[in-house]
Structure 1
Amino acid sequence: MSTTVKRLTVTVAALVLSCGIASAQLNSPKESTSQKQGDAKPDDYERWDAVREVYFPGRTIEDGSAFLSLDAPYRAQDAALVPVTVKAALPADAGWSIKTLTLLIDGNPVPLAGKFHLHDEAAGTGHRNLSIGTRVRVNEYTLIHAVAETTDGRLFSAERYVKAAGGCSAPAMKNPEQAMARLGKMKLNLPQSVPVGGDVTAQLLVSHPNHSGMQFDQISRTYVPPYFIRSIKVSYAGQPVMDVETDISLSEDPSLHFTFTPKAAGDLKAEVVDSKDQTYTGDWQVIPQPAS
């Protein structure tokens, strides 16, 4: 099935769910995903059952709260810029690591905010400890889920209930001319001290309007066509760090916080591709310092 067909399938399914037209009646068992969240209602969990069947059909999702956490504001100040952070710390005796993390906003027309494929040179693949942060659009009061897939093929989830509405249709913060003038420009933020062989948290900022297709232009009286970042690839010293599949649930001017481990000086590179197949690249030299 082509990427376009998959996206259309997910969009149609999610729109039906978000409008309350269909109620999922799935035969798969309802596994516990985490502690019940805040004001979440039975309808929210029915919707989650249907959303996860779209993204993880027929698969069991276990409660990951022992090692996986998802942090987001209970009541967001700006529904178009909701900060979300997912952290994981595996037990020392775990014989597996996390290879993929999927972030889903259940109530959005397209729930997928990001599917993060993680790489760790020392472990061969996956991460035992991770911290990933970004900003998302939230279209209505909803559960947000983070689903971790492990190197031994299991799925674990964490969840958070967020009160926010209208994030997918919120107008752009920049005017079109300003947005296009900065299109694809990137910035990398690093700590003042980067230790050799230690985990380093970096922030990648990408200038892009990330139009959802639901925003209304008051001048032309038409909807702004969807135009969004589709993928982000990050590497360090020639080795992959993270490959991300994204969609319209990611905010305008996407921001990604992620961890990597510089064992020696090298270049951190980012490659971004949007829905018009435009490619943008960034390259920064990193010189880690030995511990004092």
Structure 2
Amino acid sequence: MPHPFRAALVAALLCPAPLAAQDNPLVESSAWEELKALVPRGDTAVENAEVLLLDAPPRAVDPAFVPVHLTQPLGAPPIRALTVVIDENPAPVAAEITLGPAMLPLDMELRLRVNAYSNVRAIATTDKASVLAGRFVKASGGCAAPASKDLQALMAEMGRMRFQILSSEPEGTGMRHTAKLMLRHPNTTGFQRDQVTLLNIPAHFVDLLEVRQGDELLFRMTAGISISEDPVFQFRFLDNGADRITVHAEDTDGNVFDESFPLTGL
């Protein structure tokens, strides 16, 4: 079923300004007590706002498109990988992300599906400790929410990408860019229903995304069903002098998508 308000909503979610701090801290979660031993570093991670922050709205406007903003304060110790977990989702691990040095200190936003009132958290490791950051988000039905438009229309555009530099600023002797990457993909979850047949639509989602600046890795993400339809990633990275950004993506049906974007003339 189409959702006419989503065009304006998506535009708002993709605003380059960071999310404002919210008064929605993590809450006690029996689901997390069961999960944390299964999530890398989950059973030893403690909240530390001097190392990692996560912002998300206290109440989702659209549970299928919840913006989550991961940042590190200036001077924070480097993190090389993190795991994003939504406690109450059917598949709680939303993404595992490996970070290249040009992505640090981390400043990255992604859009997630949130299926029920839940903590949304990120777990990461520095050289010295495991850290955790998160927010409690009030949402319902994100994994079963119908597509924003006809599934055949989504499939026809599948794999198309767009990369945009939103802003650039000097850092040391180089430049740090804020960029946005958009990938067209239905990212169905297996919990959505065909509005005509009323049968469940099979899960079909991007499960691998790799972004490089020249030969250098910016980030690599392995993902599950909790990444939104038509995934969008906004992130900051330090320019290493390479002239191209390359993107490689794979989905659960075996489709492979590759694209390259120029960085010259910035």
Partner of 1:244: 221
The amino acid of 1:157's aligned partner reads L
- Check whether the contact 1:194–1:288 (CA below 8 A) recurs between aligned residues: no
SS of the aligned residue for 2:38 comes to: helix
Structure 2 match to 1:259: 236
C-alpha separation between the residues in 2 aligned to 1:149 and 1:198? 27
User: For structure 1, which segment, 247-256 or 173-182, has the greater mean C-alpha deviation from structure 2 after superposition?
Assistant: 173-182
Aligned-residue sequence identity (percent) comes to 33
Whole-angstrom distance in 2 between the partners of 1:158 and 1:41: 12
1:69 and 1:158 in contact (8 A); partners too: yes
- Distance of 1:270 and 1:153 partners within structure 2: 32
| Kept in 2: contact 1:134–1:257 (CA 8 A) | yes
Query: What letter matches 2:97 in structure 1?
Result: F
Contact 2:213/2:240 (<8 A) preserved: no
**One-letter identity of the residue aligned with 2:101:** D
Counterparts of 1:208 and 1:112 in 2: how far apart (Å)? 19
Structure 2 stretches lacking a partner, 5+ long? 1-22
Q: Tell me, yes or no, if the aligned pair for 1:90 and 1:97 is still in contact at 8 Å.
A: no
Cα distance in 1 for residues equivalent to 2:158 and 2:27: 40
Q: What TM-score results when the alignment is normalised by the length of structure 1? A: 0.77
Q: 1:137 aligns with which of 113, 116, 120?
A: 113
Distance 1:65 1:192 in 2: 26
1:41, CA displacement in angstroms?
5.2
Counterpart AA for 2:232: S
Partners of 1:220 and 1:67 in 2: CA distance: 49
Task: Map Cα deviations across residues 143-163 of structure 1 (whole Å, 9 max, x no partner).
Answer: 11011122x263100110100
1:50-199 to 2 correspondences below 5 Å: 50-56=34-40, 59-89=43-73, 91=75, 96-120=77-101, 128-150=104-126, 152=127, 154-191=129-166, 193=168, 197-199=174-176
Of structures 1 and 2, the larger Rg is shown by 1
Amino acid at match of 2:250: V
In structure 2, C-alpha distance between the alignment counterparts of 1:220 and 1:250, rounded to whole Å: 25
Q: Give the secondary-structure state (helix, strand or coil) at the position aligned to 2:125.
A: strand
- 1:47 corresponding residue in structure 2: 31
Could you state the TM-score of these two structures normalised by the residue count of structure 2?
0.84
Residue deviations 1:92-136, cap 9 Å, x none?
Answer: xx6x52000211111100112211100116xxxxx5411110100
From 254, 266, 269, give the equivalent of 2:246: 269
Instruction: Name segments (4+ residues, structure 1) moved above 6 Å.
Output: none
Contact 1:182–1:207 at 8 Å: present in 2 too? yes
State the aligned residue count. 242
